[in-house]
Amino acid sequence: MGVPLPAVALSNARRRWGSCHARGMIRLNWRLLKASLAEMDYVIAHEVAHLRHMNHGPTFRETLQCLYPNHAEAHRTLRERGFLYHAF
């Protein structure tokens, strides 16, 4: 993708599965460890796409589609089941 390898950290966020900062730092919610591989891959691809496009515009969506073509289904599953991963 032509971007530097980002620093990655775990977070304890209540409302976000991941975040990407303009400086190239990606944070992933530790609760993704309870999710399926498809859901994890989706969140990671979503945040990696933000390394190129810090918005959710058409070019971001094109990049996400290239990185993870099955993103829509994984996103839907995460929305439906995500509350289960917050139970501990």
Give the pLDDT of residue 1.
67
* Residue 3 near residue 24, CB atoms below 8 Å: yes
pLDDT values of the chain reduced to their tens digit, one per residue, 88 residues: 677 778 999 999 999 999 999 888 999 999 999 999 999 999 999 999 999 999 999 999 999 999 999 999 999 999 999 999 988 6
Domain 7-85 of CATH type 3.40.50.2300: no
Distances (CA, A) of 83 to 15, 26, 39, 58: 10, 22, 13, 28
- Token readout for 17 is 């599965």
pLDDT for the residue numbered 46: 98
Say if residues 7 and 51 touch (Cβ distance below 8 Å): no
- Domain range summary for the chain, segments of one domain joined by +: 7-85
